[in-house]
Amino acid sequence: MMNTPPEPLIFCRGLTKQFHKGATVVTPLESLDLDVAAGEFLALMGPSGSGKTTLLNLMAGIDQPTSGTLTVGGMDVHSLSRGRLAAWRARHVGYIFQLYHLIPVLTAFENVELPLLLDSMPRRARRARVRAALELVGLPDRMHHFPRELSGGQEQRVAIARALVADPPLVVADEPTGDLDRDAADSVLTLLRSLSRDHRRTIVMVTHDPRAAAAADRVLHLEKGQLLEATP
């Protein structure tokens, strides 16, 4: 008896996104088909305007597709009401930005804790989860430091801990190494790869850097909204 392969965590069919810019219709994505397996580390590459960040935002439930099918973990995310979508996103998606977006008047611990304050989690459990997230990214000794007291690489690690603290199955990263020097970038990429391999997080990363993309399990190239090439 043949085993049925597991369903992908992310399933896209005929995914299209359009918006109007004056009298012009812009189509960042057109009839895109894509499967992303649970635990996969996927890199998206392509020139500016090719649809990479648009696809990332659709996967994260931040934007709505014009047409097509997109499910994450079997959930048709874009059929949810605004309130249910916000609750789903808080539990299922961690977002890592290029410029960290840490709040400067909060410590690393408090920045990581922020997503959990919207939940009814008991204080002791919440604080234990924050400490565990900071330990996972190698910063247990920096939890009471403010962003101005951290290096760029350490700030990005705090941002990664914040993305992981709710234990989401999907982590999306938009140019996470774009503002880092090479050593810090390599350290962040090693961490992302470990999250995929050792902790079964699905990572979808947008990057312009071939060296960053080389850390992924698979690289997809987008141009003018079309999937052009996939390389191992």
Note the pLDDT tens digit of each residue in 200-225: 899 999 998 999 999 999 999 988 77
Helix, strand, coil % (nearest 5) of the chain?
A: 40, 25, 35
The Cα–Cα gap between 143 and 92 comes to 24
In a domain, 2, yes or no: no
Confidence at residue 225, expressed as pLDDT on a 0 to 100 scale: 73
The tokens describing 227, both together, are: 């999937």
User: What's the CATH code of the domain at 135?
Assistant: 3.40.50.300
With tokens 């977006």, the residue in question is 101
In a domain, 141, yes or no: yes
The Cα–Cα gap between 225 and 202 comes to 22
With tokens 């249910």, the residue in question is 84
Confidence at residue 1, expressed as pLDDT on a 0 to 100 scale: 45
In a domain, 214, yes or no: yes
pLDDT band at 38 (very low <50, low <70, confident <90, very high): very high
In a domain, 98, yes or no: yes
The Cα–Cα gap between 155 and 59 comes to 25
In a domain, 177, yes or no: yes
Q: Give me the domain span that covers residue 157.
A: 39-62+80-221
- For the beta carbon of residue 191, count every other beta carbon within 10 angstroms: 20
Examine the pLDDT at 227 and tell me if it is beyond 70: yes
In a domain, 155, yes or no: yes
Task: Give per-residue burial for 25-51: e unless 16+ CB within 10 Å, then b.
Answer: eebbbbebebebebbbbbbbbbeeebb
Judge contact between 63 and 57, C-beta under 8 A: yes
Confidence at residue 128, expressed as pLDDT on a 0 to 100 scale: 95
In a domain, 170, yes or no: yes
pTM of the model: 0.88
In a domain, 51, yes or no: yes
Confidence at residue 40, expressed as pLDDT on a 0 to 100 scale: 94
Confidence at residue 232, expressed as pLDDT on a 0 to 100 scale: 43
> What is the total count of domains within the chain?
1
Least confident span in 1-5, 43-47, 142-146, 227-231: 1-5
pLDDT band at 94 (very low <50, low <70, confident <90, very high): very high
Which residues share a beta bridge with 19? 26
Average pLDDT rounded to a whole number, residues 169-182: 90
Q: What's the chain's average pLDDT?
A: 88
Tallying the residues shown for the chain, one arrives at: 232
